[in-house]
Structure 1
Amino acid sequence: MYWNISENFFINISFSLLLISLITNWSNLAFPEIKYLNKIGIICTISTNFCLFFILLSRWISHEYFPLSNLYESLLFLTWSLTLTNIILEYKNISKIISSINTPICLFIIAFASFALPTDMQKASPLVPALRSNWLMMHVTIMMISYATLIIGSLLSILFLILAKNNQIELQGSSIQQLSMNKLKVSSFSKNQKITHKEHYNSRLSLLESIDNLSYRIIGLGFPLLTIGIISGAVWANEAWGSYWSWDPKETWALITWLIFASYLHSRFTKSWKGKKPAILGSVGFFVVWICYLGVNFLGKGLHSYGWLP
């Protein structure tokens, strides 16, 4: 009883903190001169991470198994992974834009887990025999962290496409070499206007370059984790079911996700694609990850159907 009350309390606190973080982060974009807004957002994100950690830890202690046995626990762990990745990137001062695009996703996940899922699905239940293995912690944890990093990297690709709309952009490796702005049909410019336009051009170029590089690096981090997660899952499958690969929906979409991001990284590494094409591929990866993680479970079919949706 005590655990349930404390869990509900910390879930509500997490939702409130994410809402405050969302408001402050978006306000920081509109009013960058107000520096304390960014600090408030970071403090809220860190506090949310601790709240979710307490919830997961309390479930682990009270039920004596790693809290990844059902969809509710999985969603909480994904949100914890997203906030942790956000904190690490902000701590390294890589980008201040990540919080603005990551917080809405976290807020949506918490709201979905708390209000959309039936109460029965939020309760912990005894593990089925196949999940009573040490592979549960290794395989599912690595997969969830890889999902979190790939989601953030893909969101940055989507942001890149939005900001680069109606512009021609060429990429060499992981940097922008040329940005061709649409020609402005104006008869004449004063000297001051030309300087202002040049400064705006350089600022936009620098922002797009930062977003592109950051997306590339984060996806480059998430892809090895996804690879390790798939391999560990195959080993666990052989131990539990006697086969490394069964081509059930979850495994098939995990392979599709791997191929999408492998293609993205290959195109960036070999420089075979330039401009918006790699970003489009990274953006597609965002939706593929959600299909693999959540969409497949709505089918209720395959070896991975237990512990998710009935």
Structure 2
Amino acid sequence: MNTASLVNFQQLLDNTSFGILLVATLLYWVSVAFRRLPLVHELGSAAATIAALTTAGLLGARWLETGHFPISNFYESLFFLCWCVLAVHLAAEQFSRQRLVGAFTMPVALGLAAFASLVLPESMQEGGGLVPALKSNWLMMHVSVIVLSYAALMVGSLVAIAYLVVTRGQEALELRGSSVGTGSFQRAESSGMATLAIAQPLNFLEQAPLPIADAPALRRSSLAETLDNVSYRLIGLGFPLLTVGIIAGAVWANEAWGSYWSWDPKETWSLITWFIYAAYLHARLTQSWQGKRPAILAAVGFVAVWVTYLGVNFLAQGLHSYGWLS
């Protein structure tokens, strides 16, 4: 396949990925709004999987065209992050079995694809050779790990935001931590004659029948527990990846620029993001924080990731100028 054919194939996959992500987002929203339509959720998951495959095909075609791993400019970085978000989303959905996850993660993937396809000028979408500073084996190591960490932290934070939505107005909900910060929900609800204590929702269902009036409360409690655990695990995955990516970037910076750290805007914000998620994990592991407090901290981290990845590209031009927007 020649270069022109590869470019046309990329444009086709670009448009296809955007269209499928739009459909997937709508399907997930419909599945949440109409819970009695399980087939809609399955269609949403299928659409997300197809979008991941088409995005991977786009990146593969760009790799063949340019001869290097497709993360050398902002367009490639956006689609690589989109693919990572989709991959982490599918893994989280498989683990949690909750349709609510996609309702929060699909709009982010759609936004990344839309920004790359519709906002970036054509000059920034074109593939090409590497600039001298990027001709290093550290390119794949540093950028790919950093972007993957962003995806894990984003999805983990979005699941935490979903937790906040599920538990809004539920002041009686209390989380009592375990040694790893993923303990069970314990909630007491008084209903005149008796008090219902829910410590282990699934086990409780096996032990005694639940009054119909309390079934929605049990479902919400079980859903909240699942979201809290998934969020914690994803952030626990993304944080070490972010750490490794920052260290790899420092080593590469020393080779390229003669300094491990230059307080470049992206470097500074990556450090701020690192401290936010370090505080999140510290609070969960040592202070037994669970529920709303760490979820709020994760939501702050979500904003910090976006500022690190995208915001500094509008605010200032630094050493990471290959992705700067004028």
Question: Quick one: which amino acid aligns to residue 76 of structure 1?
Answer: F
Contact 2:317/2:324 (<8 A) preserved:
no
How high is the TM-score relative to the length of structure 2? 0.87
- The Cα of 1:47 is off from its aligned counterpart by 1.2
Question: Quick one: which amino acid aligns to residue 67 of structure 1?
Answer: P
More moved, 91-100 vs 79-88: 91-100
- The Cα of 1:176 is off from its aligned counterpart by 4.3
**Counterpart in the other structure of 1:259:** 275
Q: Alignment partner of 2:321: what SS?
A: coil
Map 1:1-310 to 2 at 5 A.
Answer: 1-92=4-95, 94-168=97-171, 169-171=173-175, 172=177, 173-179=181-187, 195-310=211-326
Q: Alignment partner of 1:7: what SS?
A: helix
Contact 1:146/1:222 (<8 A) preserved:
yes
- The Cα of 1:287 is off from its aligned counterpart by 0.3
How high is the TM-score relative to the length of structure 1? 0.91
Flag as ranges the 4+ runs of structure 1 deviating above 6 A: none
Contact 2:182/2:290 (<8 A) preserved:
no
Q: Alignment partner of 1:306: what SS?
A: helix
Q: Alignment partner of 2:185: what SS?
A: strand
- The Cα of 1:122 is off from its aligned counterpart by 0.8
Q: Which whole-Å CA distance do the structure 2 matches of 1:274 and 1:18 have between them?
A: 32
Gaps of 5+ in 1: none
Q: Which whole-Å CA distance do the structure 2 matches of 1:16 and 1:274 have between them?
A: 38
Contact 2:313/2:323 (<8 A) preserved:
no
Residue identity (%): 47
Aligned length: 303
Contact 1:174/1:212 (<8 A) preserved:
yes
- The Cα of 1:249 is off from its aligned counterpart by 0.8
Contact 1:56/1:67 (<8 A) preserved:
yes
Q: Alignment partner of 2:314: what SS?
A: helix
Q: Alignment partner of 1:32: what SS?
A: coil
Deviations 1:224-262 (A, max 9, x none): 111111111111111111111111111111111010001
Question: Quick one: which amino acid aligns to residue 310 of structure 2?
Answer: L
Contact 2:25/2:103 (<8 A) preserved:
yes
Q: Alignment partner of 2:211: what SS?
A: helix
Question: Quick one: which amino acid aligns to residue 9 of structure 2?
Answer: S
Contact 1:70/1:308 (<8 A) preserved:
no
Question: Quick one: which amino acid aligns to residue 43 of structure 1?
Answer: A
Structure-2 change in CA distance of 1:307 and 1:199 (3 Å): closer
Structure-2 change in CA distance of 1:156 and 1:180 (3 Å): farther
Q: How large is the RMSD of aligned CA atoms in angstroms?
A: 2.2
- The Cα of 1:92 is off from its aligned counterpart by 4.0
